[in-house]
Amino acid sequence: MQEKFEKINVFNVALLFFTSIGLVNHVTIIPALLSASGRDAWIAVLFTMGLLFLWSAAILYVIKGTNKENIYVWLKQHFGKPAAYSFAFLITVYLLSMVIITAKDLIDWTHITYLNRTPPFILYALFLFICWYIGKTSIRTIAIANAILLPIIIVLGFFVSYSNMKMKDYSLLTPILADGFKPVIEGMMFSAAGMAEIFLIILIQHRIKGKIKFRFFVIVLIILAGLTLGPTTGGIATFGAEEMTKQRFPAFQQWRLVNLGRFVEHVDFFSIYQWLSGAFIRISLALYVLGDLFDIPQGKRRELILGGFALLSLIILTFPFSDIEFLYFLTGFYLPASLILIITLSVIFVLLTAIANRKGGT
């Protein structure tokens, strides 16, 4: 059984973010980013990273101001149950949407590419069960699983990048800003929706041992930006900007080109490992946070509550949404809405932290 105060170090938190948030940056947001910014998508990512360096200072202020306490318990103690319950509702919706969107994107890709005769319901049910099984345990268990999976994900990422180097023409990244700054600004909204998920550190801050410093955010944001820049610039250099905007799964298409000499090709099955591993860690972590953040005691009660969340996600996922409808929803609503929610909560937490510290000092 998980100990009540079990914690992980800052390094393992960074690794969890590389896998969980990295999946969004590397896969989910790229079609929307390319659609908005085209050839200048990579510039949008760089500008977003610079702005988020400033934003991360606000997150660090909240972490220090709350003394790394459970943020839900801290809100209840300092501002009463209404504030805590309002926060709980918003975060529950956000985390559940994270589970649903991740599972939908994964299973749509799975069904389209290599399991097109398997009913999606079976795929959803099996994958959510596995994620629930580890999500009900502890953050240390999830961190250990991630530490095993992530190195292979990284090796495969470099493998596909360098294998296709002979096909890339980076002059296709120019000319830059041919349509002005408007496409870049539109693309920044989508790239920010991915990288801003570093806000999740506030939700698990009470499970982190060691001091969280500003350089943590700098390093994590640079790597997360790189996870978007890699497939974006590589895809444009390989296929061209116009063709990239037409692709549903741009990162996967680069795997389809890999061959090792004359006799070894079709190694795109490696991408299955990458995508499954990323989605597994992301959904498991979201379910864990749903149980741990709201101080639900470890045991049968937490298992049942998280099982209920997983079942609710499964029910929603069975609604008949086509992949095209899902992509429109993702681009037109989910990504902008999640970014607005994260920014709004960040501003509110900064204000509440300042108020609480002022009260404590008087």
User: In this structure, is residue 288 part of a structural domain?
Assistant: yes
pLDDT in tens, the chain (362 residues): 444 448 899 999 999 999 999 999 888 899 899 989 989 999 999 999 999 999 999 999 999 999 999 999 999 999 999 999 999 999 999 999 999 999 999 999 998 888 889 999 999 999 999 999 999 989 999 999 999 999 999 999 888 888 888 888 888 888 888 888 899 999 999 999 999 999 999 999 999 998 999 999 999 999 999 999 988 998 888 888 888 888 888 878 888 888 777 777 778 788 889 999 999 999 999 999 998 888 787 788 889 999 999 999 999 999 888 888 898 899 999 999 999 999 999 999 999 999 998 876 54
| Number of domains the chain is built from | 1
**Residue from 274, 323, 234 nearest 30 by CA:** 234
**Which pLDDT value is given to residue 264?**
73
Q: How far apart, in whole angstroms, are the C-alpha atoms of residue 327 and residue 339?
A: 17
Nearest residue to 7 (alpha-carbon basis) of 290, 216, 210: 210
Determine contact, residues 273/153, Cβ cutoff 8 Å.
yes
CATH code for position 237 = 1.20.1740.10
What is the per-residue pLDDT for 16?
95
H or E segment to which residue 6 belongs: none
Q: Which two tokens stand for residue 22?
A: 């990295």
Asked if residue 21 belongs to a domain, the reply is yes
Q: What is the pLDDT of residue 280?
A: 96
- Whole-angstrom distance, CA of residue 318 vs CA of residue 117: 16
Yes or no: say if 95 and 200 are a contact pair by the CB < 8 Å rule: no
Residue 157 lies in a domain: yes
Range of the domain at 71: 8-361
pLDDT of residue 357: 85
Q: Which helix (H) or strand (E) is 65 found in, with range?
A: helix 41-65
In a domain, 1, yes or no: no
Angle separating helix axes 270-292 and 300-317, nearest 10 degrees: 130
**125 C-beta neighbours (distance < 10 Å), count:** 16
> CA 236 to CA 239: how far, in whole Å?
5
Determine, yes or no, domain membership for 338. Answer: yes
How many CA atoms lie within 13 Å of 262's alpha carbon, on the beta-carbon side? Answer: 0
Report phi then psi at 293, rounded to 5.
-60, -40
Q: Which helix (H) or strand (E) holds 209?
A: strand 208-209
Q: What angle do CA 97, 101, 306 make, to 5 degrees?
A: 50
156 part of a folded domain? yes
Instruction: Look at residues 286, 293, 296, 341 and name the one whose alpha carbon lies nearest to residue 75.
Output: 293
Q: Is residue 273 a contact partner of residue 292, using CB atoms and an 8 Å limit?
A: no
Give the number of other CB atoms < 10 A from CB of residue 274. Answer: 24
Q: Select from 147, 140, 136 the least CA-distant residue to 283.
A: 136
Residue 84, in any domain of the structure: yes
Is the pTM above the cut of 0.85? yes
Structural domain contains residue 294: yes
- State the pLDDT at residue 254: 82
CB 124 within 8 Å of CB 103: yes
